[in-house]
Amino acid sequence: MMKKENIDFMVIHALFSAVCVIVLLIPIIPIGIKLFLLVLLYNIIIPVFGTIRKHSSWFKMWLFALILSLFQVWPDWFLASQLNVLIFPSDGFIKIGSVSGYMAGLWTIPFFIIIYLGTILKNKYSEKFKYIFIGLLSLLIFGIAEQTMWLLGSWHAINVTLIGYGAIYIIIPEIILGLTCFYAYEWSLERSITSKITIAFLTMIIYLGNASSFYFLFEKIIFI
């Protein structure tokens, strides 16, 4: 029988997905405002709903996901302003440098999902299977985002080799990001907030380094 917590996870994400469709279909409101409101909603309902339903781990997962999401503005800014391979069009919302402001919280959504589903597998399968699953899940989530966010008038890749609308160079870094996100969360689970912030920062640095390295590999060596 499926645990109540897992049912709640599916229900809350199904309801959130339905709200996303409704909000995104509302005319007139700029897309940046819509995405900000949806990001804000997610970052409220996850810890609040988890607390109400007495799922104590939800707040811990959400907190780490949010901290890491805030740091992710830096690599997005670097890719957009320094490498010029990512663009955030004018979308009606404030920007942090060249990055749409809602991105500071948007990464929380995939990070929370990756951490939660990885945790479900923790005591059921081997470490090898767990990390293979997390890697494939990261590929799926970030791959879908790469292929669809441009439809909303949000960020999209430019000046790089693409598969559809997704940049080839970022595939491996995003898989590694999902894996390191989950590993970092587990490492920091019973540690102080300072440790959580530190490991989240290091996770971001790993992603930034991988993104830069694989950009150079694919765009300057392989596809020159």
Q: What is the pLDDT of residue 151?
A: 87
Report the share of the chain in percent with pLDDT over 70.
Answer: 99
SS3 at position 157: strand
Tokens 């293979």 sit on residue: 132
Q: Mean of the pLDDT values across residues 61-79?
A: 98
> Parallel, antiparallel, or unpaired for β 166-167 and 162-163?
antiparallel
Residue 57: Cβ within 10 Å count: 13
Torsion of CA 98, 169, 68, 197, to 10 degrees: -110
What average pLDDT does the chain have?
A: 94
pTM reported for the whole predicted model: 0.95
CA distance 137 to 32: 27
Q: What are residue 95's DSSP bridge partners?
A: 100
Lowest mean pLDDT among 25-29, 121-125, 163-167: 121-125
